[in-house]
Each structure stands twice: as C-alpha cells, then as structure tokens.
A = this chain, B = another copy of it.
C-alpha cells in the first residue's frame, strides 16, 4: 500500500507523483529527490518501484519476503537497510515488524511490514525544517533510523522497571517463586527480541560514521555517530539487564531451595511434636497389670499435663531454632 510519495527540492515538496510517475518526476528536474513510503506492499508495487528506480533485484527480493535481520548493504552507490520495528503487545511480549529502506542519490523508499508505527512524525519534522531536508536522502535515512532507534528506549525502560520491581520483591517472604521465575523468563525473551534488533544495527551503524562511509551518508557522519551512540547506550542497558536476569534466576533457585528447607524444618518440627504425644499416649495405653499411675486420683490430668508439657517444650525449642 502506498502511504506517501513526494518529490522535495531545495527543502520544499514540489510534487506528489504516483508510483508509476516517479522516474518521470525525477527526470523533470535536475535536483531534488523523491521520498516514498510503502506499507505491506504488494509484489506489483515492489516490481513497479524496482523498475522505476532501478533497484537491485536481491534487495527488492529481501524487501518482498521480509523477516530480514537488521542490516545495511551497499549496492554500488545505493544503500539497502533493514531495521526491526518493535511494539509492546498487550501481554508484554514484543511484536516484531520491519522497515526496509532503499537510499539512492535521488530517492529514499521506506517499506514497512507488520507494524502500525508510521513515520509521519519524521516527515512532519523534516518538512518543518527545510534546512535539514535540503541535505537530501541521506538525511531522511538518518531521520528514519533515529526514529526507529528512539522507539527502542521506552521498551528498554519498561523492561528495566519490571526488573527493578522484581529485584525488590524477590527477597520478601512468601513470594510466588514460580511467578518470579516465569516473569524473569519472559523478561529474558523480550530482552532477546530487543537485542536482536539492536546488536546487528549497532554493528552496521558503526560503518556509517567511521572508516569508509557510504557516499550518501558522507556529509552526515556526526548524525550517524549520534545514532550509533544511542544504540550503544541501549546495548549497554541490555547487557546489564541480561546479567541481572541471569543472576536473579540463579538467586531465585537458591531462594526456592531455602524455602523448601524451611518447609522441611516445619514438617520435621510438627512431626516431632505429634510423635512425642503419640508415644506418651501409647505408653499409658499399654496393658501391664502393674502400672501404678493408672490408678492415681489425678493420673489422667497428670498424663494430659505431661503431654502438653512435652509438646510445649518442643514447640518453644523449635520456635527458638526458627524451625517454626
């Protein structure tokens, strides 16, 4: 589906050609570039675009099939980039969409898959600041990348907040340990999703601001270094969170074992108390003919007293040992 198609020259929009008028619109003027946004495009739309802008077949094939890992590939002077769009689902799980970007000397095409996150904000900001737009497709590419990366931060923040809450409650008594381990596992999975969006992008974005930089990004190295720095920051947070989760999972196992130990202690304590009572009662239930205390006036209360006494003594003993 075509979302938008606009030709910009000298920072202002000058035409809105359809997909099939793109090459004409570009040839009509010496300068300027076209900015096209597609969403879940049909094969026809992609083929038309490939023809109009002379896009490389392998890259178009990637964009058609989707499910790419984040990457930036050079095809001659053109760049093809794939990035993950992440959205927090209702159950906390992260939904993975994608955006593919073709960047040429006179065009930029973004193809969005399986995601509701649009880039209207990016277009709006770009149109409000003609100075920036004047820098061409490379700047738009940066702006898109920046927007994608900025959306990772709140997801990371949510993970960190949940993790911090878990850390705090974990050591409190009477926790549902299974729920803790389940939430930790869920966090780990979300973190993995985030990492698979961030880490490959980090690697490729490193090549956009240092060493041999692709020609369309040449003048914008400081901007791409800024994106790189943001990714590095998320990466550091991911690593930290991951370590915390690993440690917390292990700690949780220890806590589970400690819990079990406590239960075993209580079991042992109560078993001992009842067993002592039963043994005493059993003794006075024996049928020997000569058991003088059986004939005492206060034999029975005395026996009951003895049983209570022993039970209480054991109870206090175990209380003192913290077994109860």
Contact = CB atoms under 8 A, between A and B. Distances in A.
A192 interface: yes
A253 interface: yes
> What size tier do the contact residues of chain A reach?
35 or more
Interface stretch (A23-31, A66-74, A111-119): A66-74
A209 to B, nearest CB: 10
B263 A233 contact: no
Contact of A192 (B177, B240, B260, B295): B240
Given A261-B260, A274-B275, A233 B68 contact: yes
A123 B120 CA distance: 47
Contact of A300 (B233, B259, B276, B290): B290
A281 B278 CA distance: 9
Contact of A254 (B196, B223, B253, B304): B253
28 contacts: A56-B222, A69-B233, A75-B222, A171-B182, A181-B251, A185-B251, A192-B243, A249-B250, A252-B254, A257-B257, A260-B264, A263-B268, A267-B268, A267-B271, A270-B272, A271-B275, A272-B274, A275-B275, A275-B278, A278-B282, A281-B285, A283-B307, A284-B286, A285-B287, A287-B287, A288-B303, A289-B295, A289-B299
